[in-house]
């Protein structure tokens, strides 16, 4: 198997201001869905480059330093924002978070050297909030021929408006992606008239090789498209019962674990990796990757903040 190239992650990095349900003081954590995925992949031993939009301020310095400590480097042009974005995450008594954002997102594809990377991941605010969302979509069109792509739509109603307003972008990026990961709640919001199961089946018809739907403590549902006019093959992977501290970053940690497993199996990387999906071994590799995603997500919800595990943490 050829040497694995670094992954390129495109999207927002910000500071999560986590407000506890008991009314205690806000606690700051480095966050942003794509940044969380980048850190998660790096902690699992993969090379990662992040294209983002940070300010030349103390919060931007903190984000860059924490990312670097985990092995993530920023692309040129990632520190050009007027201020570093923030997200207020208010927790309820179960540890679930509701978000309010103060952010700006732009993406300068011309500043990104993508010649030395293999897989590309994007999602969340970075794929939708303008003007950066359109810039990311254009960049993905240029990357598709030479790179595999993954996408996590990550519904954010307070920023995205209505499902109808964002659905065209959701489906445009899905059509370019090899891997799409959503939560059941994301899909219920994007497709209220269908519900998450039919919404996932619809996304599976648009071109991805794999659609994975997370369902919190219930585990994950996996759809593998079956070709034109055929329903996707589906299976479920259960999650272990764990004590939840908070759910901040849990989906991102799952995404990092899933991608890590697929990268290890040679199913992601340059465009040549797509041929490996026809192998009889691909089915088992997908199941192993989903199981790693569940393990990384379960590790994260048992701790405060959006951090993900290392391989040693998973083996402990």
pLDDT at position 19, please? Answer: 81
Note whether residue 316 is domain-resident.
no
Whether 268 has a pLDDT exceeding 90, the answer reads yes
Note whether residue 257 is domain-resident.
yes
CB atoms within 10 A of CB 116: 10
Note whether residue 1 is domain-resident.
no
- What the block records as the tokens of 206 is 């648009």
Find residue 97's DSSP bridge partners.
91
Note whether residue 2 is domain-resident.
no
Rounded to whole angstroms, the Cα distance separating 205 from 131 reads 28
pLDDT at position 23, please? Answer: 78
pLDDT at position 87, please? Answer: 83
Residue owning tokens 């972008």: 169
- CB of 148 closer than 8 Å to CB of 119: yes
Helix (H, G, I), strand (E, B) or coil at 307: coil
C-alpha triplet 225, 40, 141: angle, nearest 5°: 50
Work out the mean pLDDT of the chain and round it to a whole number.
90
- CB of 3 closer than 8 Å to CB of 266: no
Work out whether strand 149-152 and strand 179-183 pair parallel, antiparallel, or are unpaired. Answer: parallel
pLDDT at position 28, please? Answer: 86
Residues for the chain: how many in total?
A: 316
Which string of DSSP letters, residue by residue, matches 4-38? PPPEEEES--EEEEEE-TT----EEEEE-HHHHHH
Whether 95 has a pLDDT exceeding 80, the answer reads no
Note whether residue 27 is domain-resident.
yes
Which string of DSSP letters, residue by residue, matches 104-124? -----GGG---TT---EEEEG
Decide which of 243 and 265 is more confident. 265
Decide which of 1 and 236 is more confident. 236
* CATH at residue 306: 3.40.1190.20
Q: Tens digits of per-residue pLDDT, 142-190?
A: 999 999 999 999 998 988 989 999 999 999 999 999 999 999 999 999 9
Residue 281: domain span? 7-311
In a 13 Å sphere around the CA of 83, the CA atoms on its Cβ side amount to: 5
Note whether residue 251 is domain-resident.
yes
Decide which of 45 and 103 is more confident. 45
Whether 306 has a pLDDT exceeding 70, the answer reads no
Q: How many domains does the chain have?
A: 1
Note whether residue 53 is domain-resident.
yes
What's the average model confidence in pLDDT over 101-119?
91
What's the average model confidence in pLDDT over 207-220?
92
Note whether residue 190 is domain-resident.
yes
- CB of 302 closer than 8 Å to CB of 242: yes
Nearest Cα residue to 39 out of 9, 59, 79: 9
pLDDT winner (highest mean) among 20-24, 93-97, 98-102, 145-149:
145-149
- What the block records as the tokens of 32 is 């942003």
List C-alpha distances in Å: 223 to 54, 194, 237, 287.
36, 16, 11, 11
What's the average model confidence in pLDDT over 79-99?
84
């Amino acid at each position: 198997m050829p040497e694995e190239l670094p992954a390129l992650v495109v999207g927002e990095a910000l500071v999560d201001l986590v407000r506890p349900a008991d009314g205690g003081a806000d606690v700051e954590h480095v966050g942003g869905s794509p940044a969380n995925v980048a850190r998660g992949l790096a902690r699992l031993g993969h090379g990662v480059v992040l294209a983002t939009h940070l300010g030349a301020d103390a919060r931007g310095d903190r984000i860059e330093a924490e990312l670097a400590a985990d092995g993530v480097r920023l692309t040129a042009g990632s520190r050009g924002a007027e201020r570093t974005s923030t997200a207020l995450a208010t927790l309820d008594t179960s540890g679930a978070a509701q978000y309010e954002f103060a952010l700006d997102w732009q993406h300068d594809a011309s500043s990104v050297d993508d010649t030395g990377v293999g897989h590309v991941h994007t999602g969340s605010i970075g794929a939708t909030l303008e003007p950066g969302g359109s810039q990311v979509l254009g960049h993905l069109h240029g990357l598709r021929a030479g790179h595999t792509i993954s996408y996590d739509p990550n519904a954010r109603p307070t920023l995205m408006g209505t499902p109808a307003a964002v659905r065209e972008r959701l489906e445009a990026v899905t059509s370019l992606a090899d891997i799409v990961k959503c939560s059941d709640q994301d899909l219920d919001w994007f497709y209220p008239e269908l519900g998450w199961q039919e919404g996932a089946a619809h996304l599976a018809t648009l071109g991805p090789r794999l659609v994975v739907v997370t369902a919190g403590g219930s585990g994950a549902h996996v759809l593998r498209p079956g070709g034109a006019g055929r329903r996707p093959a589906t299976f479920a992977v259960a999650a272990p019962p764990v004590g939840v501290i908070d759910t901040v970053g849990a989906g991102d940690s799952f995404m990092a674990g899933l991608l890590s497993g697929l990268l290890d199996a040679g199913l992601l990387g340059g465009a040549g990796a797509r041929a490996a999906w026809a192998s009889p071994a691909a089915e088992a590799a997908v199941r192993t990757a989903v199981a790693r995603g569940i393990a990384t997500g379960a590790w994260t919800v048992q701790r405060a903040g959006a951090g993900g595990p290392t391989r040693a943490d998973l083996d402990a």
